[in-house]
Structure 1
């Protein structure tokens, strides 16, 4: 009892119109809303991330532009210093610690002070020649042997002299407890172009970092400035010059920004912009919590909207059941009574809408079915009588014709008489005709071997040879490997008969027909080739179209059936019925050179679904 009840519930669930309507409402209403809420929330989240990322990238770009301006000022000072004629003379002169050295120092200091006005980040500018002479913007003019020279200067000089670049940026170093980066440039003799010294500008990173301290990314975001060796130039939490190897840098690669997680699994928005002129990289880090705070109000409103839509879908579902489903269920119960044979039931048609029209149509249908059943009963009786008389007439007609067995015995009698009279040619033809008739009258098996079909062709061509006086030359080619292949009985003779009938005219001097069998992968192709006059291109097109047209539509091509031959078309349809649409007959022809008919059959016979 419980199993029957569960089975009824399952059937009701599958067949119930109301359940299907509810599923449609859920699929077309609720699910899209839920998907929309998820997709909408994610889309807006991504848009917010993009907006915040673009806003902070603009801030980073402003910092980038300021650093580029500093680099541009440094390049300008390096160039003006290197090409100044007075400084060229100072570099070319030998080291001197007397009065001349003092005058050269004052001249250099006065010139440099004019260049560095408004650039407090430039800590010092020094010129050096290769003889040990050194003058800086602080007024020091002693030789390298008299005062300590920062080791980085010697490294810059070696890199400039031994390298291909005329500008060098040093790593971060510290002097007098000040973090520095130095920029070096070769001084070339304006007359000979040979290097005569270097000019070095020391950049005070403290002044750079002071400006970066004032840059804010949202409320708690930070910026980081790294040099070409990934050493910290500016970091609010790390010391200048330390190596910075955090894993999130790899996630950025060449992207301007991305979302990632820290080692503590805190999600962050990472940004970057590169300062190509300096080889530095500027990074920004913004906590993702500050981004999603702006979405809280939107998410609340969207959830309220989703709840209202769910309630609305529920109200619509109840209304649909009352207005549409219940009347349909009533009609369903009436239909079941009609199925059981009760044609007296009628539906109520008080409503003026489509449901009411459905009830009226149901009542009309029941009345018409009752009338049709009565009419069909009378027609069946009349048809049965007519069929009986038709079969009786066919039986009488068959009995009035000569039976094939009588014809076969008659041919044997003629052959015996021709043998007795010594007429060998008539005996041979009659024997062939008798064997042909015997082969044709066999009803089983339906499928025969290629070897048997070729034997039948030889008997048929003996008669043709006798009829045409040997004017047509026939040749055969049947390899042993395909002699066992099966095909429907009497498939080749209609094609050969069609070739004999249509291929030749009086102008053909040489008349020949070849029957060649070849294997093509898993198929066998039987070619019937003639040396006749060929088929005109337009007629050949119509014949091939007739072969590709369903049998029931071939009345459209009745004008070309004489040329193609009804037997050939029937063979084509029989082959496709036995083996499938990929098999059958194809025709190619060249006007004036002959025609080739190809019959394609499979090596391994498998009945098609139609025959099964």
Structure 2
């Protein structure tokens, strides 16, 4: 039962495999379902575009047929003759009615889908021929559509499925269109032709566009008036349908176009000659899968994969955890002090075999170290005794130098006393490494002590001057950064110089860096030696820690001369540069420029820590106030 605890490697491995498998299965299933639905929507959209294009072609053919019908009625000689004359008596008007019915009936039976042909005279008389007689709707005679036909100038005007606003009062739907009739000779209006057609051709074409029962199709005139819809009895004034049938949202072109949004498959098209606009709307998802069957299939597959994952996870966890468990048991024996333990290498994973081999090697090395430690312990105790016996307290040396200074001061030997005092302070500064970081001010004080000694040696021929703003004196850097560089300038640059030797120290802030410039007017560095020094400085920036130690040892033994023939004259540069690179990283350190018989300029680049120090002081002050 211990192997099934949650905190065991085997249980964790089993749990993670199961969880990852389940997440993967669910994720892949969801992605596959989404991808399949998108592909179906895309394919259905392509098919819908083709169907809409075909429907528009059918509507165009039907409209041209209706246009031909209207033209044939208007150009009929008998109808032109009858409409062009006015009958003086009621009997004459009755005879005219009979003659008009005969003329219209001849044309009526030539078209199967025509339900009624009506001619409205300028004085309001209606001449009709229908398959079944219906009453005249008086509202139509005063309606907007009739006025639109009268003002059309002879163009065929489409009224569509007008419902209760149609010319005749009937229960069955009709598709209405009309044209202004004029005398072919005088061009004087002689009536208005109104034709009522069976809309089954339109409805049949629209039904072919029905992708699913929720699909809706609408045909609009060039003036955006609704002519016919796939569901004429369904209201379109709901909020959702108003938004979906807002024609200003869509672009209508001669070619059918898919303009679907996130929730609906929407196809638009327009007839170039008639100006009719077709809009078909289908809610998404377009294709509905059988949910029950899909769910059953999903659960069966998921259950099968989980069972398979459990079996695989159990086998994998056992194969991995068994050798690890063996290693753990052997390590526990080592913890109890049994250093004779050896793990038997068995056929396992390469990583486990690697652990076995190195565990055995570690035990062997521990045994060897313990044997060597017994021998080394006695030697180490002897070495410590000798080290304690030979140790000299540096304070004894400081006090001795101070005593010599006071003795010389009593003898009024001021020059020698100052030399001893400077030497004492230099020694105190350079040997006190409790803090490896110094300020620029303390470094300059150390240079002052050093130059006191050098001035005595050179009879005052060599001078150091510095012009540095007080705010830069608090800049920090590794201890003993300036002295090696000043010493190089004195010994290798100015010692052989016959004239007045001058070393100038300046400092400036450049962005986030403080640059300290040391300029001398000494002998300078030969060009090829200067190039060697620059390459050595660049090489130091790329070295890792172990390489730096090796480079340090090499520089102390075989470092080439930089100033003329002076062996080791570049050591100071490289040592200071390495310390700065190690402390602050690449980009900081030394930059050297020199010209023979002109002088040498060394630039020390350290980060500006003043902002960080100020921020820390402000934080400490804030904490103190709290």
Q: TM bucket by the smaller chain?
A: 0.5 to 0.7
- The answer on whether the counterparts of 1:232 and 1:238 sit within 8 Å (CA) in structure 2 is no
Aligned residues: 531
Distance 2:459 2:243 in 1: 95
Distance 2:437 2:58 in 1: 94
Distance 1:575 1:335 in 2: 45
Other-structure match for 1:19: 11
Residues 439-494 of structure 1: CA deviation (Å, up to 9, x unaligned): 43445565544333322223323444555566666432232334445555433222
Distance 2:358 2:475 in 1: 61
1:461 pairs with 2:454: no
What SS does the corresponding residue of 1:292 show, helix, strand or coil? coil
Distance 2:543 2:385 in 1: 36
- How far is the alpha carbon of 1:19 from its aligned partner? 0.9
Please report the TM-score for the alignment, with normalisation by the length of structure 1.
0.63
Distance 1:158 1:384 in 2: 123
Other-structure match for 1:29: 21
1:602 pairs with 2:609: yes
- The answer on whether the counterparts of 2:156 and 2:178 sit within 8 Å (CA) in structure 1 is no
User: Which of 212, 234, 237 is 2:231 aligned to?
Assistant: 237
Distance 2:397 2:68 in 1: 119
- The answer on whether the counterparts of 1:222 and 1:284 sit within 8 Å (CA) in structure 2 is yes
Q: How does 1:117-128 map to 2 (within 5 A)?
A: none
Other-structure match for 1:142: none
Other-structure match for 1:275: 270
- The answer on whether the counterparts of 2:4 and 2:10 sit within 8 Å (CA) in structure 1 is no
Distance 1:345 1:442 in 2: 50
Residues 177-213 of structure 1: CA deviation (Å, up to 9, x unaligned): 46556799xxxxxxxxxxx99xx99897855634435
Other-structure match for 1:224: 217
Other-structure match for 1:176: 167
Other-structure match for 1:540: 534
| CA distance 1:594–1:387, shift in 2 (3 Å) | same
- How far is the alpha carbon of 1:434 from its aligned partner? 4.5
1:257 pairs with 2:260: yes
1:311 pairs with 2:311: no
Other-structure match for 1:516: 506
Q: How does 1:410-421 map to 2 (within 5 A)?
A: 412=405, 416=409, 419-420=412-413
Distance 1:547 1:359 in 2: 40
- The answer on whether the counterparts of 2:513 and 2:607 sit within 8 Å (CA) in structure 1 is yes
User: Which of 471, 495, 507 is 1:481 aligned to?
Assistant: 471
- The answer on whether the counterparts of 1:584 and 1:601 sit within 8 Å (CA) in structure 2 is no
- How far is the alpha carbon of 1:566 from its aligned partner? 3.7
Other-structure match for 1:552: 546
User: Which of 272, 276, 289 is 1:292 aligned to?
Assistant: 289
| CA distance 1:75–1:360, shift in 2 (3 Å) | closer
| CA distance 1:75–1:528, shift in 2 (3 Å) | farther
- The answer on whether the counterparts of 2:438 and 2:477 sit within 8 Å (CA) in structure 1 is yes
Other-structure match for 1:354: 348
What SS does the corresponding residue of 2:53 show, helix, strand or coil? helix
Residues 568-599 of structure 1: CA deviation (Å, up to 9, x unaligned): 44445555666x54895242537678443333
- How far is the alpha carbon of 1:544 from its aligned partner? 3.1
Residues 329-348 of structure 1: CA deviation (Å, up to 9, x unaligned): 45533442332123566778
| CA distance 1:181–1:513, shift in 2 (3 Å) | farther
- How far is the alpha carbon of 1:436 from its aligned partner? 3.0
What SS does the corresponding residue of 1:217 show, helix, strand or coil? coil
- The answer on whether the counterparts of 1:57 and 1:272 sit within 8 Å (CA) in structure 2 is yes
1:530 pairs with 2:519: yes
Where structure 2 has 5 or more consecutive residues not aligned to the other structure, the ranges are 76-83, 87-109, 123-127, 129-140, 169-173, 181-187, 251-257, 563-568, 615-626
User: Which of 35, 38, 43 is 2:30 aligned to?
Assistant: 38
- How far is the alpha carbon of 1:518 from its aligned partner? 3.5
| CA distance 1:529–1:206, shift in 2 (3 Å) | farther
Distance 1:506 1:76 in 2: 120
Distance 1:510 1:70 in 2: 115
User: Which of 328, 332, 342 is 1:336 aligned to?
Assistant: 332
- How far is the alpha carbon of 1:22 from its aligned partner? 0.7
| CA distance 1:435–1:332, shift in 2 (3 Å) | closer
- The answer on whether the counterparts of 2:52 and 2:269 sit within 8 Å (CA) in structure 1 is no
Q: How does 1:136-147 map to 2 (within 5 A)?
A: none
- The answer on whether the counterparts of 1:525 and 1:600 sit within 8 Å (CA) in structure 2 is yes
- How far is the alpha carbon of 1:525 from its aligned partner? 1.8
Distance 2:63 2:303 in 1: 59
| CA distance 1:553–1:601, shift in 2 (3 Å) | farther
Distance 1:500 1:157 in 2: 115
| CA distance 1:446–1:201, shift in 2 (3 Å) | farther
1:436 pairs with 2:426: yes
Q: How does 1:144-155 map to 2 (within 5 A)?
A: none
1:64 pairs with 2:56: yes
| CA distance 1:452–1:567, shift in 2 (3 Å) | same
- How far is the alpha carbon of 1:233 from its aligned partner? 2.3
- The answer on whether the counterparts of 1:543 and 1:560 sit within 8 Å (CA) in structure 2 is no
| CA distance 1:480–1:339, shift in 2 (3 Å) | same
- How far is the alpha carbon of 1:379 from its aligned partner? 0.7
Other-structure match for 1:129: none
Distance 2:448 2:229 in 1: 102
- The answer on whether the counterparts of 2:219 and 2:279 sit within 8 Å (CA) in structure 1 is yes
What SS does the corresponding residue of 2:338 show, helix, strand or coil? coil
Distance 1:171 1:465 in 2: 116
Distance 1:271 1:297 in 2: 29
| CA distance 1:408–1:569, shift in 2 (3 Å) | farther
Distance 2:309 2:457 in 1: 88
